Amino acid sequence: MENGVRSVRRRAVTLHDVARRAGVAVSTASRALSDPQRVNVTTREHVQAIARELGYRPNRLAQALPTGRTGMLAVLVPDITNPHNFGLVRGAEAQARAAGSALVIADTQGARELEGAHLDRLASSVDGFVLASSRLPDDELRTLAERSPVVLFNRRVEGVASLVTDSVDGSRQIIEHLVALGHRSLAYLAGPSAAWSDVERWRALSEHADAAGARIVRCGPFAPTLDGGPAAADVGMSTGATALIAFNDLLAIGVLRRLGERGIAVPAQVSVVGYDDIFGSDFCSPPLTTVAGPVDEAGRTLVDVLLAGRDPVPAITLPTHLRVRGSTGPVLSPGSGA
């Protein structure tokens, strides 16, 4: 105690405090704040003004008891540091805010166990889940969807709502682009073996390469990060490929760095392609050729699907396109030099 004044922690304002100050019943104050259409305009505006004056903040979990809804949605991503997720979260947040909900963001680090732990911890606190690149088995996702609203991003599971960006068609565009530049020997630098999108990309790349008369080999898996780039670059170059296709842009940028360290010219000696068109993919040297998808739109649509509870269960595909930049070029003819 200093100068005879005792420091006390201010008690949080409750709904009872608002009702007492406004001179109304607690049930009336609750309706004025959570379901205002059920209260006449004069009372509603009076109660809301008192709530603002007192600094009242509603307890979302307490509100959920009678309604079953908390006004919170959860978005789980495999790597919160990957810029690919920035647009997804931004779009999801904008749509959630428009619907009167807020987002909880959780990083699963691409680990099945951590993803499951987040789901268990948040199940009673949110109205539904957006799961980006989930690593959970199909059966677990179906069980989860029976208990809570769920929509998957870049993952397909029969019976569970999902949205994917069309990396299969993006893979076709990659192969057609490289073959048109004269490349016939390609290497795919794979991502995590548990990633559904890795399986889809490899299947599409290999099918289209075979149809175009090109040879493609699979290398990896590699960590889908900048740090995974050095090993991926070294292994990819050892195959003799003239073009390297990385699982995502972070891995591709790590590959570009390693090739620069080794004095290997891009695209004069080897071309490099990624997926996702992340922020910064056009800032690296050389700028990265990559498959782009509408991730902001994906985030908004995911929340729309989650809140709508559509039946039949939607399986949405958004288009992609190849952004051609400086990391891809024609194969040099023998004797043309670097």
For the chain, give the longest Cα–Cα distance: 91
Question: SS3 of 162, please?
Answer: strand
CB-based contact 237:255 (threshold 8 Å): no
* CA–CA gap between residue 205 and residue 218 (Å, rounded): 10
| pLDDT > 70? residue 65 | no
CATH architecture of 72-164+295-319: 3-Layer(aba) Sandwich (3.40)
Task: Find out whether 106 and 75 touch, Cβ atoms under 8 Å.
Answer: yes
- The SS3 call for residue 102 is strand
Q: Sign of dihedral through CA atoms 101, 106, 112, 116?
A: negative
Q: Quick count: other Cβ atoms within 10 Å of Cβ 200?
A: 18
**pTM for the model:** 0.79
Cα separation, 130 vs 37, whole angstroms = 30
Any idea where the domains of the chain sit in the sequence?
15-58, 72-164+295-319, 167-294
DSSP 151: E
- Quote the pLDDT of residue 32: 85
Q: Regarding the domain delimited by 167-294, which CATH topology (the fold level of the hierarchy) does it fall under?
A: Rossmann fold (3.40.50)
Six token digits for residue 73:
């949605």
Same fold, 72-164+295-319 and 167-294: yes
| pLDDT 10s digits, 81-108 | 999 999 999 999 999 999 888 999 999 9
Summarised one tens digit per residue, pLDDT across range 165-200 is 999 999 999 999 999 999 999 999 999 999 999 999
Nearest-10 Cα torsion for 48, 54, 58, 62: -110
